[in-house]
Structures are given as structure tokens and as C-alpha cells.
Amino acid sequence: MRAQVLTEFGGPERLELRDVPRPEVRPGTVLVRIAAAAVNQVDLKIREGLPIGPALPAILGADLAGTVEAVGDGVTDLRPGDEVYGCAGGVRGHGGTLAEWIVADARLVAPKPQSLSMRDAAALPLVAITAWEALERAQVSARDHVLVHGGAGGVGHVGVQLAKARGARVAATVGAEDADVVRELGADEAVLFREEAVADYVGRLTQGRGFDVVFDTIGGPNLAPSFAAAASGGRVATTNARTTADLSPLHAKALSLHVVFMLLPMLEGPGREAHGRILREVAALVDAGRLRPLVDPARFTLETAPDAHRHLASGAARGKVVVEIG
């Protein structure tokens, strides 16, 4: 099969299109012919050397949509011909999705939303599972006023929609260019973070009380504004806690902090069944018209996948970057 192979850590130029052996199905796995694969920020970090990636030479890529061609012993809920999607590769112990085929742990894939093309379905798995786990950990309900930092980003735009699906009132921080986007996705309020201080929008939208839940899809230095925006007794969920932070606001407000690292079950094993369950529930929401992915209009093929990496790294992408493979 053809695949983009990372020969050494570094920039997109380290990806080479090669012919490599097609993987063989094993017990508990499915062989999937990949139609489309998304590129995520974590793929760029792994390409640069983040030590959760597969051994070199390696095939990168986590997200996929495609068709099951064969199933291994013990797989009973999928069969050849099924159209599936999932986050199933690109880290230690797994193949990658920038290839024509992958052997995936059957627990990590699920029937794709019927209403989506392969290209659009490939955009969802990693970001949808991440957002789902964050809102589940934070116990978001219809009683909550939720703030999503980065509401037009990959994880954020799904977080906005999932919080609305739970009945919550939702505000989202965005740049001015994305205010209409998050409103179209269901956000009740768009906060222009470059133009309004945290205290000002907390006062305007919550009468100074703060948000019941803050979902921070940016993390790092943005954790401090997240703590500041939360109500006393509130919950903060983040996708990026790789930072040194002053935790005294957590104590002062009795906040809870929930860190989401959705790749952990892929790296360690336990919890993979939950990913398949979440993807099935996400597909149901998509097909009910309650969730849709934002997909960048730029088109890429397996041959031009290094350009997809460049496009995502440039910051110019509006929505998920997807590579069409087959």
C-alpha cells in the first residue's frame, strides 16, 4: 500500500510517500480501507518528536473514515462493508491513517454518521471524543451556564454543540472573524476575547457570578483566565495542563479541575471501549441534525499530505484539515 512515512523527526519535509506492506488483520481488530484522514495538532507535535508516537520509520495520523474490509477473530459488532470512523492510529503501538489501509483495534471505531461524507466524518473522532469526555467529566447539564474557550477551534466547535445538546446555556470565546460561526453552531453568546477582559464578560453575562463550567480547549497560560471566569464551586475542564500554574484560585473558589488526555486509552489499553461508545452516540447526534463538523475548504490528497501539515501549522485553517485518500 502507499503511505506517508515519517523518516525522522522534524518538519513536513520529513514525510515521504512510500510503498509499504499492507497490515494483516489480527484478533480483535478490523482492516479498514481508508477514505479520508484528519490532521490534528497532536500529529504535528508527534512529527516533531513528542514521545508518544510510533517508532520510526512511522505512519502518522489518528483520525479516519473508511470501509471495513476484514474483521479479526472476536469482532462481532462490525463486518466487511461497514462504513466506519474512529481515532485509531498515529501513536505508540498503532498504525497510522496517512495510508491506504490500517488495522485498527475494533473498540476504537464505530459506524460513521450516515448523513456525513467520508471527508466530513474523518474530521470528528479525536475532537468529538475529547469534547465529550470533558463535558462528561464536568457533568454538564441543562442547569449550567458553560463557557467554551476557543469555541471555533477543532475541539471547541464540537464542545459548543455538545453542551447545547445537553441543554446548557453556552458562551464561546472567539476572534471577531468567528463570532458568526459559533452562533450558527448554537452558542448563545460570542465573546470577543481580544476586545473584552475576563472580568467584563463575566460581569456582563453572569452578573459577576461566573460560569458553572469552563471548558478550556487552549490551556497552558489560558488556565488562569479559565479559573477567573469560573463561579465558586464551578468546574474547569482543560485539554492542556502542560504548564506551571498558580492553583490558589482553585482553593479560593473551591473549583474542580478535570484534565482530558483522550489518547491515553490508545497508549495504555483500558478505556478503549468508551471511545467506541462515544462515537456511536456522536453519530446519533450528527444524524439527528444536532452536531456537525467544521471542515476547512482546502483539499489535500495522500500525495500532498505534507502540505496539509503545513496548512494546519500556518494557523490559516478554518475548521478541521482533512486528507482524502481513497
Q: Judge whether 264 lies within some domain.
A: no
Q: Band the pLDDT of 296: cuts 50, 70, 90.
A: very high
Q: Are residues 228 and 318 in the same domain?
A: no
* Residues near 261 by beta carbon (within 8 Å), at least 6 away in sequence: none
Q: Are residues 205 and 274 in the same domain?
A: no
167: alpha, beta or left? (left if phi > 0; alpha if psi -120 to 50): left
The CATH number for 74's domain is 3.90.180.10
Q: Are residues 239 and 143 in the same domain?
A: yes
The reported pLDDT for the residue numbered 70 is: 98
Look at the alpha carbons of 230, 232, 235, 241 in this order and tell me if their dihedral is positive or negative.
positive
Cis check for the bond before 57: say yes or no (omega within 30 of 0): yes
Q: Are residues 237 and 279 in the same domain?
A: no
Task: Kindly report the pTM of this predicted structure.
Answer: 0.96
Q: Are residues 63 and 6 in the same domain?
A: yes
Q: Measuring CA to CA, which residue among 279, 273, 313 is closest to residue 296?
A: 313
- Tens of pLDDT along 163-189? 999 999 999 999 999 999 999 999 999
Percent of the chain surpassing pLDDT 70: 100
The reported pLDDT for the residue numbered 326 is: 82
- Tens of pLDDT along 71-112? 999 999 999 999 999 999 999 999 999 999 999 999 999 999
Q: Judge whether 141 lies within some domain.
A: yes
Q: Are residues 68 and 135 in the same domain?
A: no
Q: Are residues 200 and 244 in the same domain?
A: yes
Angstrom distance (rounded) from CA 279 to CA 310: 28
Q: Are residues 15 and 84 in the same domain?
A: yes
Angstrom distance (rounded) from CA 323 to CA 326: 10
- Tens of pLDDT along 228-276? 999 999 999 999 988 888 899 999 999 999 999 999 999 999 999 999 9
| End residue of a domain, out of 237, 259, 281 | 259
The reported pLDDT for the residue numbered 155 is: 96
Counting every residue written for the chain, the total comes to 326
Q: Judge whether 249 lies within some domain.
A: yes
User: What is the chain's mean pLDDT, rounded?
Assistant: 96
Q: Are residues 131 and 253 in the same domain?
A: yes
Report which DSSP code applies to 4.
E
Q: Looking at the chain, which runs of residues are DSSP E strands? A: 2-6, 15-19, 29-39, 58-59, 63-71, 83-87, 101-105, 109-111, 145-149, 169-174, 189-192, 211-216, 230-238, 256-259, 300-301, 321-324
Q: Are residues 208 and 305 in the same domain?
A: no
Q: Are residues 25 and 119 in the same domain?
A: yes
Asked whether 28 and 74 are in contact (CB, 8 A), the reply is: yes
Query: Could you give the number of structural domains in the chain?
Result: 2
Q: Judge whether 265 lies within some domain.
A: no
Coil, strand or helix at 141: coil
The radius of gyration computed from the CA coordinates of the chain, to the nearest angstrom, equals 20
Give the β-pairing of 211-216 and 230-238. parallel
**Virtual CA dihedral for 58, 59, 63, 65, nearest 10 degrees?**
-150
Q: Judge whether 313 lies within some domain.
A: yes
Percent of the chain surpassing pLDDT 90: 96
Q: Judge whether 274 lies within some domain.
A: yes
The CATH number for 192's domain is 3.40.50.720
The reported pLDDT for the residue numbered 141 is: 98
Q: Report the pLDDT averaged over residues 109-129.
A: 98
- Tens of pLDDT along 184-226? 999 999 999 999 999 999 999 999 999 999 999 998 899 999 9
Q: Are residues 237 and 206 in the same domain?
A: yes
Angstrom distance (rounded) from CA 271 to CA 274: 6
- Tens of pLDDT along 4-28? 999 999 999 999 999 999 999 999 9
Measured distance between the N- and C-terminal CA atoms of the chain, rounded to whole angstroms: 12
The reported pLDDT for the residue numbered 100 is: 98
Q: Judge whether 16 lies within some domain.
A: yes
Residue span of the structural domain in which 196 resides: 127-259
Q: Judge whether 250 lies within some domain.
A: yes
| End residue of a domain, out of 210, 232, 259 | 259
Q: Report the pLDDT averaged over residues 108-131.
A: 98
